[in-house]
Structure 1
Amino acid sequence: MSSYESFLDLFGNVVERNLMIATLVYLKVDGVIVSKENIIQTFFEVMDNLSIENKVSILRMYPILGDKVPASALDSTNEQSYLGVKNVSQETLDYLNDLNQKYLNKFKFPFVICVKKKSFDEVLIEIAERCTKLYEEEVSLGVEEVKKICEIRILDTFEKKEDIIRQL
């Protein structure tokens, strides 16, 4: 297996189902000693330098919070289970679904938040608040949340697969 394929196996999903971002990062870090900080910073730089259309395409790859998550989004399934979506009342879930629909109708991409850093109640407050934002502002906020998710996933990958990463 090439170092490129190994890199994609390790980091291909740190930005939800998005091999393009991982490929751009690989091209920037190929031949450089791989460190957590280097990888995180490069992912952030790549995302920051994207057009607004490409940033929106990243956001569209994330599943709707509380909905059934596709098998290809296993990391999101695990993250949503951390939030406890399955443990809330039907009334609360209906409220979340209403907020999700309002958000989707306005922005045309799903609400993205780093659930590992929030409680369920905080998520409800934040989605309601972010429904009031302007489009460009919300794209920026969404990408900042993607970065938080990305950092957690990279750190987790380093923790679990450091011996493989050293071989890149």
Structure 2
Amino acid sequence: MRWTLDRLNRLGASEFEAALGDIYENSPWVAHAGAEARPFSTLSALHAALAAQVDGADEAARLALIRAHPSLNAGAFRAAPLSADSGREQAGAGLDSLDDHQAEVLARLNQAYEDKFDMPFVMAVKGHGATSIVAHIEARLNHTFAQEKAAAVAEIHRIAYLRLCDRIEDSL
């Protein structure tokens, strides 16, 4: 369903949370808290308000948000339940049609990443394919834990923005 900002601005808090509670993967608390910042005059203002909730959250909440994201790999795509948004995003990046070698490489890198950081690799995959995703995982494996938490949150904000763009008409 496409929403207008005017309509979102007029919703009650629980309806607002229901409408946007999945923008940040499995973390409706972001939309719940962001509802307080209404009214929004632009999609960018809405995104900034939601992002501010994440950025202002404590460390445990941000880590839980990162861990709420599914792994990016063919095995996860085939076996684990994904949100509708994550399924579309991963399919759009071709992760549902990797050959066995590509799936093995991606699974191995994801495991190395999860072993090092104790969280899934998170990336806004729109516009990327397997080769690009592999390159990003390899590069980010060189990060420190603090760098990677910051990178993961930045990617989560990008994912949220892209999801908002898909759902909201940026006009009142």
Query: Same fold per TM (> 0.5)?
Result: yes
How do 1:1-168 and structure 2 match up within 5 A?
3-29=12-38, 32-66=39-73, 67-68=76-77, 69-71=80-82, 73-159=83-169
1:143 Cα offset (Å): 0.3
Instruction: Please give the root-mean-square deviation of Cα atoms over the aligned residues, in Å.
Output: 1.9
The structure with the largest helix share of the pair is 1
Check the 8 A contact 1:10/1:157 in 2, yes or no.
Answer: no
Q: CA deviation at 1:52?
A: 2.5
Contact 1:28-1:42 at 8 Å conserved across structures: yes
Q: TM-score, normalised by structure 1?
A: 0.87
Runs of 4+ more than 6 Å apart: none
Letter in 1 for 2:48: Q
Task: Write out per-residue CA displacement over residues 20-40 of structure 1, whole angstroms, 9 at most, x where no aligned residue.
Answer: 1111101222xx245312211
Task: Note the residue ranges of structure 1 that are not aligned, 5 or more in a row.
Answer: none
1:78-98 CA distance string (max 9 Å, x none): 100000012221011001000
Decide whether the 8 Å contact of 2:123 with 2:152 is kept in 1: yes
Q: Deviations over 1:41-98 (max 9, x none)?
A: 1012112222222211101000111213425x11101100000012221011001000
SS of alignment partner, residue 96 of structure 2? helix
- Give the match's secondary structure for 1:111: coil
Q: Which consecutive unaligned segments of at least 5 residues does structure 2 have? A: 1-10
Residue aligned with 2:49, SS = helix
Q: CA deviation at 1:117?
A: 3.4
Q: Measure, in 2, the Cα distance between the counterparts of 1:127 and 1:59.
A: 15
Identity score, percent: 22
- Paired residues of 1:112 and 1:142 also in contact (CA < 8 A): yes
**Do the aligned partners of 2:21 and 2:28 also contact (CA within 8 Å) in 1?**
yes
